Every structure is written in structure tokens, then in C-alpha cells.
Amino acid sequence: MVDEGRPLFLQIAESVEDSIIDGTLSEQEQAPSTNELAAFHRINPATAAKGIAMLTDKGVLVKRRGIGMFVANGARELLLTERRSAFADRYLDPLLDEARKLGLGPDDLARLLAERAQTTTTKGTSR
């Protein structure tokens, strides 16, 4: 999990987000504690707490006093919306810019995408 180029607290937050998105952590389910995350990842509890605080600030996790942190209602949809937007910014916008330069329209892009998807499916791999 450790990506030397990114702060650990962001990696912790993303790891919890991934668990929510893939369904490992459901809404209203208790999230791992700061101490559990720190022990599992062998990091300082303050670092784990910073990642958890970030998720709390975003409304992904809610604190139940004396019990712990829980996945908020609507957290999965919030994260999916956020990630879809980031995906579009990171991948689709540059793709569309390059397509315009090459004179490719939406139908051309759809055809290319379908061809590539078919190619990777027949190879048994995904890109």
C-alpha cells in the first residue's frame, strides 16, 4: 500500500474509501479504528487519525460517541460521484482534447473504445 510519493494519511483515507466503494465496508458499518489502522499499516496512530479525520470532514464517516467511527449513509454514492469526476478530469478531458486535435468525433471515440475493449477482452487482460 505504501506509495512513497504520497502522504500516508491520504493513502489510509483512500484505503478506507476503496473498502466502502467495493462494498467491503457497508453504510452504517463500523470502520476500522485509528489504532487498528495504525497497527495494520505499522504507522503512527496520529497519521491514521489524520486520514480518518479527513473522511469525517468529507461526510464519509460519522463518529458515534463512545462507540467509534461508522460509514455514513450515502457515503458510497458520495465517493463514486467524487471518483467519477476525478476520472473525467484526469482521463477524459485530455482524451477529448487530443481527439479534437485529431478530428475525432464522439462516434469515432465510441468505436475506438469498443474496439479496444474487445481486444483486451479477447486477450484476457484489462488495461
pLDDT score at 4: 77
- What confidence tens digit (pLDDT) does each residue in 89-103 have? 999 999 999 999 999
Residues contacting 47, CB < 8 A, separation 6+: 8, 9, 12, 38
Phi and psi at residue 91, to the nearest 5°:
-115, -45
C-beta neighbour count of 52 within 10 angstroms: 24
Q: What's this model's pTM, rounded to 2 decimal places? A: 0.80
How many CA atoms, within 13 angstroms, populate the side-chain half-sphere of residue 115? 6
pLDDT score at 99: 95
pLDDT score at 5: 83
Q: Is the pLDDT of residue 127 over 60?
A: no
Contact between 13 and 52 under an 8 Å Cβ cutoff? The reply is yes
- What confidence tens digit (pLDDT) does each residue in 41-81 have? 999 999 999 999 999 999 999 999 999 999 999 999 999 99
What percentage of the chain exceeds 70 in pLDDT? 94
